[in-house]
Amino acid sequence: MLMSVFGRLMLLENSMANKISFPIVIIILVILFWGSAIAGGRRLYPLRTQSSDITALPSFSTEGICSSLVKTQGYACEEHLVTTVDGYVLSVPRIPVGRSRGPRGNRPPVLLQHGLFMDGITWLLLPPSQSLAFLLADNGFDVWIANTRGTKYSRQHISLPTNSSDYWNWSWDELVAYDLPATFQYVHDQTGQKLHYIGHSQGTLIALAALSKDQLLNMLRSAALLSPIAYVSQMTSPLAKNAADNFFAEYLYKLGIFEFSLRGDAVIQFLKDMCKKPGIDCTNLLTTFTGPNCCLSPSIVNIFLDHEPQSTATKNMIHLSQMIRQGTIAMFDYMNIDENTRHYGRPTPPVYDMTRIPNSLPLYLSYGGADALSDVKDVQRLLETLDDHDGDKLVVQYRNDYAHADYVMGENAKRDIYEPLISFFKLQ
């Protein structure tokens, strides 16, 4: 099995050899190979309960992002747990006040949603004076940090073990249908207020999809979308594009690999050691996937590797690959008329219609000219669907030099992105 995976990876290497440097290809393929190897062998376990048997789990947790990364910086933090309708238990840390510990009052809540292969630590990778989560708290917001199912702090389920294929039987459709509504409802109930929302990458995709289906609107105050993902057929990332074109995720799924993990401890340590050597710029590890980031400090890669990348479902990777190949934003395609009909009542998957997003919803979109995942042409296609949006409700920011990772790890992001975003929120 592993040799078959390696052979598939070598095909990807050959197809990309004329686009990116050979050493970087080898490094990334090693990560993929190692991650696939440790994720292999997932087998179907029988369900122990039905959805009607769901019982409430505790709403608070004592371990997680709060104790490891927030309280250590002098901020108050609470660990909350949210259970979705389909039984996934999600970690949602809360930073209720800034470092000065002023009164809580009626601080407006803001929910931060990370992207693919990341978790809530996305918003805490930079120093406290530059990290968006801390900046929001210091500027009077009640900050809630989402962690998608399958990531380090959201690997609980009321009945399914994480090494079962059932646990990983989801794509971003389920994040739209279950994770996002459950988290929104919980924060709304806890605070009694409508939410501001900030998403990055996949975090923008699930928000746009939900909004196109009239979800969340009664609980949403405004939304900020960083590196927005809706249409992805024009993406220029050679790694993502070639993986999709070669049906890599579909191949892993057929091998029985249902958890798509890029993280292996030995490989992560190897990369961290390599990055310490003089003359090696490890930001290139991200460049191959994200595009040439303008503003990453070389030291940020080691911090990134301490916490990321995170797992996702192989089915989710298949869904994203379908979007790349087909140029659509639609629900998961089972590639079988009978299966699609069973799930959707029609032979083809329903489309998420971006034109249905309400014109009066305050939106802040920021995208970069060097982003290989949220390509300029794809973002412009999204913006065309928002042509009728109220002029005073849509702010579009374009940074010619920014790529995908700059939005969450860039040294200049505070000045370039976060401060204008916070001003936008305060106007709402």
Q: Using an 8 Å Cβ cutoff, are 114 and 148 in contact?
A: yes
Cβ contacts of residue 225 below 8 Å, gap of 6+? 199, 204, 207, 208, 363, 364, 365, 366
Does residue 329 have a pLDDT over 50?
yes
pLDDT of residue 266: 75
pLDDT in tens, 139-163: 999 999 999 999 999 999 999 999 9
Q: How far from 93 is each of 183, 204, 297, CA to CA, in Å?
A: 11, 20, 27
Residue 162's pLDDT is what?
95
Tally of helices (H runs) and strands (E runs) in the chain:
18, 11
Task: Say whether pLDDT at 29 is over 70.
Answer: no
The total of other beta-carbon atoms located within 10 Å of residue 225's CB is 26
Mean pLDDT (the chain, rounded): 87
Residue 167 tokens read as: 């646990």
Residue 201 known to be catalytic: yes
Residue of 119, 142, 173, 371 with catalytic role:
371
Query: What mean pLDDT do residues 16-21 have?
Result: 39
Residue 387 bears catalytic tag? no
Q: Verify whether residue 404 is a known catalytic residue.
A: yes
Cis omega before residue 309 (within 30°)? yes
- CA dihedral of residues 277, 279, 285, 286 (deg, nearest 10): 120
Active-site pick, 201, 227, 311, 321: 201
**Identity of the residue numbered 392:** D
Residue 46 in this model has a pLDDT that exceeds 80: no
Confidence of residue 55 (pLDDT cuts 50, 70, 90): very low
User: Does residue 405 register a pLDDT over 60?
Assistant: yes
Dihedral (C-alpha) 127, 80, 263, 413: value to the nearest 10 degrees? -30
User: 65-427: what fold?
Assistant: Rossmann fold (3.40.50)
Confidence grade of residue 62 (pLDDT, cut at 50, 70, 90): low
Share of the chain above pLDDT 70, in %: 85
Whether residue 146 contacts residue 92, with contact meaning beta carbons closer than 8 Å, is answered with yes
State yes or no: pLDDT of 27 exceeds 80.
no
Instruction: Write out the DSSP string of 124-174.
Output: GSS-TTT-HHHHHHHTT-EEEE---TTSTT--EESS--TTBTTTT---HHH
- Long-range contacts (CB closer than 8 Å, 24 or more residues apart) made by 85-88: 85/51, 85/178, 85/182, 86/51, 86/174, 86/178, 87/51, 87/54, 87/157, 87/158, 87/159, 87/160, 88/149, 88/154, 88/156, 88/157, 88/178, 88/179
Q: Return d(Cα 121, Cα 118) in angstroms, integer.
A: 8
Residue 54 has pLDDT above 60, yes or no: no
CA-only gyration radius of the chain, Å: 21
Q: DSSP characters for 178-219?
A: IIHHHHHHHHHHHHSS-EEEEEETHHHHHHHHHHHTT-SGGG
- Of 24-38, 94-108, 284-298, 318-332, which gets the smallest average pLDDT? 24-38
According to the model, what pLDDT value does residue 275 have?
81
285 pLDDT more than 70: yes
Global pTM reads 0.87
Distances (CA, A) of 116 to 142, 204, 262, 310: 24, 11, 12, 8
For 169-223, what is each residue's pLDDT tens digit? Answer: 999 999 999 999 999 999 999 999 999 999 999 999 999 999 999 999 999 999 9
pLDDT 10s digits, 243-274: 999 999 999 999 999 999 988 777 778 778 87
- What are the extents of the domains in the chain? 65-427
Give 404's pLDDT tier (boundaries 50, 70, 90).
very high
Assigned token pair, 214: 């009239």
Active-site position among 80, 188, 196, 404: 404
**77-131 tens-digit pLDDT:** 999 999 999 999 999 999 999 998 777 778 999 999 999 999 999 999 999 999 9
Write the single-letter amino acid at 347: P
